[in-house]
Amino acid sequence: MSKPYVLDLLGEVILDARLWLILKPLSQQDRQTLYITEQFSLTQQYWLEVLFPRWFNGEDPKFPNWRREVMSGNFRRDDEQVLRGISREIKQQGGSSLWKHLLDLSMATDLLTSGQKKTALCVQLTTNAEAYLDGKKQSWGETLMYWSIERGLLLSYNPAENALVPQLVKVILSYSDAPTAACYTVITAFEEV
């Protein structure tokens, strides 16, 4: 049985742990110098300084489930092409994005993004129609609260839409740059931004 994501996940965790351990003893000024020198994006910084340490030092309630799914070969990233397109478009528009297996598996986040305002936003994409979204909304919100994630966007979309990626990027960047300090927002069927 093929387990394509096991090595990817382990490699990601090892790399992130090594980076975090390098950053941990540094002063804030030395960290900022390293970020500038190595051209770390805001989303990479937020991951390494905030979310990864929370996961590493915390107890992941989803770990038994996702470990079983990954090890049995049942975990799939069906939205990988969409995520790649969104990431590319966000970068072209001056923002940054990051997608990690741990974000997806543990933190109900497909994509960590920031736009021009340089504030991080955790984005969860779904193809669930609004009528089937209630359970997902509740689980998503509870997961974000558990990890003390302040800003989240649950974005339901129709994969058959024309110009899908530009529409998703428009919504994501508008919420990423919104002045709201802390919020969880749910958008379905491309509601007007």
Alpha helices (H) along the chain: 4-23, 28-37, 42-46, 52-57, 63-71, 80-92, 101-107, 134-146, 164-176
Other C-beta atoms within 10 Å of 112: how many?
25
Question: Token pair of 24, please?
Answer: 């941990």
Domain boundaries, the chain: 4-188
DSSP string, 82-93: HHHHHHHHHHHT
For position 192, what pLDDT does the model report?
A: 41
- Find all residues with CB under 8 Å of 69, minimum gap 6, and list them: 75
The correct answer on CATH 3.40.1350.10 for the domain covering 4-188 is: yes
* CA triple 124-126-130, angle to 5 deg: 115
Mean pLDDT by 10 residues, the chain (193 residues): 74 94 95 94 94 95 89 80 93 93 92 87 86 84 93 87 86 83 67 43
The distance between the two most distant Cα atoms of the chain, rounded to a whole number of Å, is 50
For position 191, what pLDDT does the model report?
A: 47
Model confidence, pTM = 0.88
Give CA–CA dist 165/95, Å, rounded: 15
